[in-house]
């Protein structure tokens, strides 16, 4: 629990036997020994050391309480929101949800409701961008990218020659004139072979 030197002074009091209907806005600290039907809200702008609500064992609050520090040793019917510290003493009876940054709960205190700690937002975690980001983080160079793995050159499969099939003709030249000249030469060679049988190669027996 915070030391008393750091707690705001109690400047307001709802004495035992008093019954207040309506919401209360206060500065610094307030002590409840009587009964309040309404919401207690601390005014941060008017409080140098924060705000504090103390509900004694004789006090009863039917409504919510919003303050930096809340100390309860009586009965509260409603939600509690302690921005800094919630202290539930042995005779505390709370029927409502509570939220707090720090909690001190003594033996004998009872709560009927949800308990929600106030957690500071976690530091943002950079999203995973794959191996390139991992390498950049390891090297310390922002934006450094991992070199892509060299792929093996594609191999061209040459189909085997069929039996009785000769060598495949070479690909036609890119120049159309060369293709026509080659075609004319082939025709002339074929005509010469027909007219001169001796030029043809002899067939093996």
pTM of the model: 0.58
Q: Which residues of 50-61 are buried (b: 16+ CB within 10 A; e: fewer)?
A: bbbbbbbebbbb
Q: Are 20 and 39 in contact (CB under 8 A)?
A: no
Instruction: Identify which has the larger pLDDT, 192 or 11.
Output: 11
Phi, psi of 16 (to 5 degrees): -60, 135
- Region 84-103: mean pLDDT is 97
Neighbours of 155 (CB within 10 A): 6
Q: What is the mean pLDDT of the chain?
A: 78
Res 5: pLDDT: 58
Res 181: pLDDT: 73
């Amino acid at each position: 629990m915070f030391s008393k030197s750091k707690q705001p002074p109690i400047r307001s009091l709802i004495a035992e036997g008093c019954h207040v209907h309506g919401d209360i806005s206060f500065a610094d600290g307030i002590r409840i020994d009587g009964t309040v039907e309404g919401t207690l809200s601390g005014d941060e702008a008017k409080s140098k050391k924060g705000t504090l609500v103390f509900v004694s064992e004789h006090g009863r609050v039917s409504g919510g309480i919003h303050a930096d520090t809340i100390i309860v040793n009586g009965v509260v019917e409603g939600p509690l929101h302690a921005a800094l510290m919630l202290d539930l003493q042995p005779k505390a009876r709370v029927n409502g949800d509570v939220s707090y940054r720090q909690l001190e709960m003594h033996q004998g205190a009872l709560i009927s409701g949800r308990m929600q700690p106030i957690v500071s937002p976690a530091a943002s975690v950079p999203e995973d961008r794959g191996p390139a980001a991992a390498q950049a983080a390891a090297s310390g160079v922002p934006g450094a990218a991992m070199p892509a793995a060299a792929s093996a050159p594609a191999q061209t499969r040459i189909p085997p020659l069929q039996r009785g099939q000769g060598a495949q003709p070479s690909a036609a030249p890119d120049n159309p004139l060369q293709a026509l000249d080659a075609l004319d030469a082939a025709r002339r060679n074929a005509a010469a072979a027909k007219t001169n049988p001796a030029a043809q190669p002899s067939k093996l027996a």
